[in-house]
């Protein structure tokens, strides 16, 4: 019993540690990939091939002076980044990242790889990520600056609009799997069709997957939907007035949100830790590869597609993405009803 408790504590600590590393590595990966796309090297001086650049960045940010504008709301200004990062970390708690395992016979009963196995896991992730918007909105309001206020306003409008399409795309997968538990959704994707096509939901839900990815980019405020911090119009948007560690928490929350979004996408559409060639104990390797692929796509899109206009964002979200998501849901529901009856 005690051993099991320790193992579970270890899994929680490991997940937390990996998330922090993921955000640091993503900063580096983004700069490296950006450099590659713009035909230059990117960070190269700190460590071999610039590998220690994130460490240098963190030290720099820790050493900086913390500033707070005179007219800022003291409490909310401090609360905002904390809210952002808390929601980002908490959302990953409901994401399973590996098959149940006994750690090669160490335990009597298998434990789940993941912080918590919740039977409404998908909804919990959705609820927690939707709390993250408060961090951005409050940061924008409490800074008492025009640019920040506009960033916050944009964030709230954008997230409300795209959360709807996002949730509707998720509902179609929930219908297919017949469960709200992320682990059961992943286990529903085990095996293959005709012996060679992996039975992942992405093949049943191509439209849903595309909607999920687009809405995911908008939800995490990434380019081409990075309106809350559009540099050319708003200086730095909602985090204009922030500095030092408080500032660092915002990008970190963004990168962790990206990781969560990719992990959920891998679990829901790409079969999670199921895949060919590898024995089930090493399923987490597949999971890492899938997350990596989706994250690369995130970065790829950012440096390829220019930012939209704000009215285009709203038009696209409400007039195209949401109707497509609803249509996808209705068609899926009808087909599930037809084939199950």
Partner 1 sequence: MPETLIFYVLSGLAIGASALVIGQPNPMYSVMMLIASFGALAGMYIQLDAPFIAVAQIIIYAGAIMVLFLFVVMLLNAAQEDAAEWDRSHPLRQPAIARFGGLLALLLVVQLAWALLRAGGLGGPVAGQVDAGVVSSVRELGRVLFTDYVFAFEATSILILVAMVGAVVLARREEGPTSSSKEGSGP
In this chain, which of 95, 113, 133, 211 binds partner 1, going by CB under 8 A? 133
Nearest to 263 by CA among 183, 151, 157: 183
Please count the CA atoms within 13 angstroms of the CA of 325 that sit on its side-chain side: 26
Nearest to 272 by CA among 256, 259, 289: 289
Cβ at position 322, least distance to partner 1 in Å: 14
Quick one: which segment of 106-114, 123-131, 274-282, 332-340 binds partner 1 (CB under 8 A)?
123-131
Q: Which parts of 174-233 interact with partner 1 (CB under 8 A)?
A: 180
3-state secondary structure of 182: helix
For residues 91 and 93, give the distance between their C-alpha atoms in angstroms, rounded to a whole number.
Answer: 5
Say how many Å lie between the first and final Cα of the chain, rounded: 44
In this chain, which of 46, 123, 285, 297 binds partner 1, going by CB under 8 A? 123
Q: Which parts of 294-323 interact with partner 1 (CB under 8 A)?
A: none
Structure tokens at 149: 């206020």
Cβ at position 310, least distance to partner 1 in Å: 15
Nearest to 329 by CA among 160, 163, 176, 120: 176
Cβ at position 266, least distance to partner 1 in Å: 22
Residue 95 near partner 1 by CB under 8 A: no
Cβ at position 157, least distance to partner 1 in Å: 7
In this chain, which of 12, 58, 153, 235 binds partner 1, going by CB under 8 A? 153
In this chain, which of 20, 46, 52, 127 binds partner 1, going by CB under 8 A? 127
Cβ at position 83, least distance to partner 1 in Å: 10
In this chain, which of 8, 130, 199, 244 binds partner 1, going by CB under 8 A? 130
Cβ at position 130, least distance to partner 1 in Å: 4
For residues 46 and 10, give the distance between their C-alpha atoms in angstroms, rounded to a whole number.
Answer: 31
Asked if omega into 224 is within 30° of 0 (cis), the reply is yes
- How many residues in the shown chain lie near partner 1 by CB under 8 A? 28
135/265 with CB nearer partner 1: 135
Query: CB 201: neighbour CB atoms within 10 A?
Result: 22
122/213 with CB nearer partner 1: 122
For residues 272 and 265, give the distance between their C-alpha atoms in angstroms, rounded to a whole number.
Answer: 8
149/295 with CB nearer partner 1: 149
For residues 217 and 165, give the distance between their C-alpha atoms in angstroms, rounded to a whole number.
Answer: 12
Using CA of residue 162, residue 165, residue 168, residue 174, what is the dihedral sign?
Answer: negative
Residue 120 near partner 1 by CB under 8 A: yes
In this chain, which of 92, 97, 141, 147 binds partner 1, going by CB under 8 A? 141
In this chain, which of 163, 187, 226, 254 binds partner 1, going by CB under 8 A? 163
Residue 76 near partner 1 by CB under 8 A: yes
Find where tokens 């590996």 sit.
98
- Find out whether 184 and 118 touch, Cβ atoms under 8 Å: no
Find where tokens 């950006």 sit.
34
Burial of 70: CB neighbours in 10 Å, binned 0-12, 13-18, 19+:
exposed
User: What does the binding site for partner 1 look like in residue numbers (CB under 8 A)?
Assistant: 73, 76, 118-120, 123-124, 126-127, 130-131, 133-134, 137-138, 140-142, 149, 152-153, 156-157, 159-160, 163, 167, 180
């Amino acid at each position: 019993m005690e051993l099991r408790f320790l193992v579970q504590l270890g899994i929680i600590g490991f997940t937390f540690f990996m998330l922090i590393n993921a955000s640091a590595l993503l900063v580096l990966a983004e700069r490296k990939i950006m450099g590659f796309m713009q035909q230059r090297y990117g960070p190269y001086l700190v460590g071999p091939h610039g590998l220690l650049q994130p460490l240098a960045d963190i030290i720099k940010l820790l050493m900086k002076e913390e500033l707070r504008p005179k007219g800022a709301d003291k409490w909310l200004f401090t609360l905002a980044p904390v809210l952002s990062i808390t929601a980002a970390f908490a959302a990953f708690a409901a994401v399973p990242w590996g098959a149940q395992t006994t750690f090669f016979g160490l335990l009597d009963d298998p434990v789940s790889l993941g912080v918590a196995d919740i039977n409404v896991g998908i909804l919990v992730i959705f609820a927690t990520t939707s709390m993250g918007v408060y961090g951005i909105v409050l940061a924008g309001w409490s800074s008492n600056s025009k640019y920040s206020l506009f960033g916050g306003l944009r964030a709230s409008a954008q997230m409300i609009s795209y959360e709807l399409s996002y949730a509707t795309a998720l509902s179609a997968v929930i219908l297919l799997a017949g469960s709200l538990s992320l682990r059961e959704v992943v286990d529903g994707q085990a095996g293959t069709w005709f012996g060679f096509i992996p039975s992942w939901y992405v093949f049943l839900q191509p439209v849903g997957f595309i909607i999920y990815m687009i809405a995911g980019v908008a939800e995490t405020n990434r380019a081409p939907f990075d309106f809350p911090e559009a540099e050319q119009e708003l200086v730095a948007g909602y985090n204009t007035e922030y500095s030092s560690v408080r500032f660092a928490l915002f990008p970190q929350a963004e990168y962790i949100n990206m990781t969560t979004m990719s992990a959920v996408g891998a679990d829901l559409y790409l079969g999670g830790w199921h895949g060919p060639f590898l024995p089930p104990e090493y399923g987490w390797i597949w999971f890492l590869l899938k997350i990596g692929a989706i994250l690369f796509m995130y970065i790829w899109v950012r440096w390829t597609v220019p930012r939209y206009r704000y009215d285009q964002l709203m038009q696209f979200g409400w007039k195209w993405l949401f109707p497509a998501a609803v249509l996808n849901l209705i068609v899926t529901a009808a087909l599930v009803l037809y084939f199950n009856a």
